[in-house]
Amino acid sequence: MTAQDTTDANARIEELVTSNDVVLFMKGTKTMPQCGFSSRVAGVLNFMGLEFRDVNVLEDNDIRQGIKDYSEWPTIPQLYVKGEFVGGCDIITEMTLSGELDQLLEKNGVTFDKDAADKIREANKG
């Protein structure tokens, strides 16, 4: 990847995360995830009725590497809310189960199905 490719990828990533309330950089798409971790996060967001932009990193190597550099986070998927990096699969799972994801979405004025979020927590109680 050249310096120009890196600059282009960063500019495209910046545009994606600032022009969409919720963005998930993932392997595959929200309707057809291509890895278990991406599937888990997309599944939670879909179940919660969240409108989000999915970006398939498998279709663009510059974005696939660029998003890791952009966030300084080594793995995919990566979730952004209102331009801020939230985390990957484990963090999103923990935040969903603790209710922190609900709070973050509410604070940022992002619409989601609170009952669905409660159902996820209920289903995952030990």
Binding site, residues?
35
DSSP conformation class of 31: S
Annotated binding-site positions for [2Fe-2S] cluster? 35
**Non-local CB neighbours of 25 within 8 Å, separated by 6+ positions:** 55, 57, 63, 67, 76, 77, 78, 79, 80
Can you point out the beta strands (E) in the chain?
22-26, 53-56, 78-81, 84-87
